[in-house]
Amino acid sequence: MTGQYEFYLDYMQAQSGYRATWEPGRNMVPGTIGRLDKEGRFVKLKKLRDLHIIPEIETDNSNSTREMDRTSSDKVNISVKLSGSAPLPGSMLSLKDTGFNISFKGERGIVFKISGYSTDEIVNLGTVEEKVISLYKNDKWDKSWLIVTQVIRAKSATIIISSGESASLELKAKAKVGSGAVKLTDAALGLKVTNQSGETTRILAEQNITPLYQVMGLEHPWFSSHKLHNKAIADFNAPLNFEVQPYRAGELEGDETGD
């Protein structure tokens, strides 16, 4: 049986066409170089700038008011409990509380909701590719290295991954919630878990995160020269069997566009 993160990565690739960040709240930045550990997770190694390659990063805000929902609706039931409505039997919510009841059918299910997202993308890939090929030819580029070329940055995201049999969560909003529509991605709700069963990994209305990204790696196709190629989850079914030493924590969390 695949692990929780493998299930999540495979599911999000199929549903969105992007690779999912693991863990979901981990920051990803275009221009980061890395590769996969034994469990198929991306490990940060260095930046393009460390190799004197300067990525030009452009932000597309055209989707900044839109929402993305890739919840596995056949495996998840989400119900909203508004202030003044009767709570479900066994609920920890009172009559005046506002919150959510989330239940998963079976062992695996995903809630993936993001709002206000933008795309950060390397736009001078031709120049990056040319310099990477030059480094490779001079034995200064490892062919297993991957480059983060694009990330989706969400103003707010709620992601819940069930890994236990028939897991459930009850979330309570902070006091004095308005009478309008409530959303799982609304950070102003201050959602807190009041009751749960089963095992879940979750982030609740976390702000300014990069839950989805794309990577490119160097390949040498038949009858043509080396080039950078977009790497999907299918390319990672058999992660390389090596140990990698990532940068120290915090060294790669800055904005790649900065000096």
- Other CB atoms within a 10 A radius of the CB of residue 61 amount to 11
What pLDDT score was predicted for residue 79?
Answer: 92
Q: Which residue, 101, 115, 117, is CA-closest to 173?
A: 101
CB 157 within 8 Å of CB 211:
yes
Compute the mean pLDDT over every residue in the chain, rounded to the nearest whole number: 84
What pLDDT score was predicted for residue 221?
Answer: 65
pLDDT digits (tens, 9 = 90+) for 132-179: 999 999 999 999 999 999 999 999 999 999 987 789 999 999 866 766
Three-state DSSP class for 61? Answer: coil
CB 16 within 8 Å of CB 70:
yes
What pLDDT score was predicted for residue 37?
Answer: 78
What pLDDT score was predicted for residue 163?
Answer: 80
Q: Report the percent of the chain where pLDDT is more than 90.
A: 55
Q: Which residue, 202, 185, 41, 31, is CA-closest to 117?
A: 185
DSSP assignments along 184-228, one per residue: TT-GGG--EEEEEES-EEEEEEEEEEEEEEEEEEEE--TTS--EE
Instruction: Tokens for 145, please give them.
Output: 């290295």
Q: Which residue, 84, 147, 155, is CA-closest to 118?
A: 155
Q: Does the pLDDT of residue 36 top 90, yes or no?
A: no
Three-state DSSP class for 45? Answer: strand
Distance CA 26, CA 163 (A): 20
Beta bridge partners of residue 231, listed in sequence order = 215
Instruction: Tokens for 58, please give them.
Output: 């452009």
Task: Say which DSSP state 180 is in.
Answer: S
What pLDDT score was predicted for residue 155?
Answer: 95
Q: Does the pLDDT of residue 180 top 70, yes or no?
A: no
More confident residue, 241 or 113: 113
CB-side neighbour CA atoms (13 Å) of 191: 26
What pLDDT score was predicted for residue 61?
Answer: 82
Q: Report the percent of the chain where pLDDT is more than 70.
A: 84
Task: Provide the residue ranges of all domains of the chain, joining segments of one domain with +.
Answer: 4-62+76-83+97-236
CB-side neighbour CA atoms (13 Å) of 149: 21
Amino acid identity for residue 220 in this structure: H
Instruction: Tokens for 235, please give them.
Output: 């390319």
Strand 67-69, strand 200-219: pairing: unpaired
pTM score, whole prediction: 0.83
pLDDT digits (tens, 9 = 90+) for 70-120: 999 889 999 999 888 898 888 889 888 999 999 998 878 999 999 999 999
